[in-house]
């Protein structure tokens, strides 16, 4: 290195020999080219974003497994380990949604093309879908709620998370539809794999909803029983403030084993209650049980529709 060479040139020459720096520069250049529709990789971002949408749709249902029912204490708690894992994966998926918003706003000329007629709707759905509702609600609100309206507020917050998840499903469908309009649409093999993955994901989503609604059904029965019993406050169903001394009347009003539909009908959620799946059991067992339920009922619904 020439000692009389300017400092900036010497620094650039030194950095050029650093493999890490070179890799970072190459990665940044590739990302810039991917986000440029007139660059060497047109429509590549559409494929990347579609993959991230599918991943988000597959991981977001983990939030519905967070509530845990302690049947012995007759209270509701949360799975802290699963909560952290779901939040991390959600934040990772949100990065792609934010990048897609930047991609569409930056390329206004492309948005006017026939293949991007729905782009304004895409931006709106991306913006709503990237709002960190689960992160804020679970980290700052869900576990800190206290008072007599705790369960009502939690149910409303759960509904917000569910509504946002539906929008992310819609965004996945729109991304698939948009990619099929491009000149480099995926071939039959890719379409087949995507349809298979969506079928598997649908079973996962259906099972997660079943678990979540089973927990809500159990809590709803407790609330109904509590309203008919003197000295009972529904806020005591929170494990953080469980002060209910006499819990035996809940078993009488909410019979599970054996069930009594004339007293309270749990319907399709009875199996989840009888197996103890809503309790603090190993998550893999819980997940596989719910997935099998979703797969079985999805196949049943398909068979009924084909009759």
User: Does residue 165 form part of some domain?
Assistant: yes
User: Does residue 6 form part of some domain?
Assistant: no
User: Does residue 122 form part of some domain?
Assistant: yes
- Count Cβ neighbours within 10 Å for each residue of 116-139 and write b for 16 or more, e otherwise: beebeebbebbeebbeebbeebbe
Domain range enclosing 50: 31-306
pLDDT digits (tens), the chain, 307 positions: 555 555 454 444 445 455 656 566 666 676 777 777 666 666 788 888 888 888 888 888 888 898 899 888 888 888 889 988 988 888 888 888 888 888 877 776 444 444 444 456 667 777 777 777 776 766 566 555 555 566 667 677 777 777 888 888 888 887 777 777 766 666 777 778 777 887 888 889 899 989 988 988 898 888 888 878 777 765 567 777 765 667 778 888 888 888 888 888 898 999 999 988 999 888 999 999 999 999 988 876 554 444 4
User: Does residue 195 form part of some domain?
Assistant: yes
Q: Which residues pair with 68 in a beta bridge?
A: 77
pTM of the predicted protein model: 0.76
Q: What is the pLDDT of residue 293?
A: 93
- Nearest alpha carbon to residue 277 among 213, 200, 227, 199: 213
Instruction: Give dist(CA 176, CA 225) in Å, integer.
Output: 47
Number of structural domains the chain divides into: 1
User: Does residue 247 form part of some domain?
Assistant: yes
Q: Tokens at residue 108, please?
A: 């206004």
- Nearest alpha carbon to residue 71 among 214, 176, 170, 203: 214
Q: What is the pLDDT of residue 38?
A: 67
User: Does residue 241 form part of some domain?
Assistant: yes
């Amino acid at each position: 290195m020439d000692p009389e060479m300017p400092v900036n040139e010497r620094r650039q020459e030194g950095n050029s020999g650093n493999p890490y720096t070179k890799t970072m520069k190459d990665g940044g250049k590739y990302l810039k080219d991917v986000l440029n529709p007139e660059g060497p990789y047109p429509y590549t971002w559409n494929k990347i974003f579609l993959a991230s949408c599918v991943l988000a749709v597959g991981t977001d249902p983990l939030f519905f497994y967070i509530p845990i029912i302690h049947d012995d204490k007759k209270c509701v708690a949360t799975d802290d380990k699963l909560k952290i894992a779901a939040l991390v994966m959600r934040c990772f998926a949100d990065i792609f949604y934010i990048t897609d918003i930047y991609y569409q706003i930056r390329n206004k000329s492309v948005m006017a093309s026939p293949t991007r007629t729905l782009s304004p709707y895409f931006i709106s759905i991306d913006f709503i879908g990237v709002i960190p509702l689960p992160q804020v609600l679970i980290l700052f609100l869900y576990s800190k709620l206290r008072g007599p309206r705790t369960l009502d507020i939690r149910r409303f917050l759960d509904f917000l998370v569910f509504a946002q998840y539906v929008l992310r499903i819609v965004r996945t469908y729109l991304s698939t539809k948009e990619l099929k309009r491009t000149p480099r649409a995926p071939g039959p093999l890719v379409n087949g794999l995507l349809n298979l993955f969506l079928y598997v994901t649908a079973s996962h989503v259906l099972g997660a909803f079943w678990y979540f609604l089973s927990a809500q059904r159990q809590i709803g029965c407790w609330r109904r029983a509590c309203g008919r019993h003197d000295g009972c406050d529904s806020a005591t169903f929170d494990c953080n403030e469980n002060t209910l001394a006499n819990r035996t009347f809940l078993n009488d009003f909410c019979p599970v084993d054996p069930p009594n539909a004339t007293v309270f009908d749990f319907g399709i959620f009875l199996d989840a209650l009888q197996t103890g799946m809503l309790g603090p059991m190993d998550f893999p067992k819980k997940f596989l049980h719910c997935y099998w339920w979703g797969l079985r009922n999805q196949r049943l619904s398909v068979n009924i529709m084909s009759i």
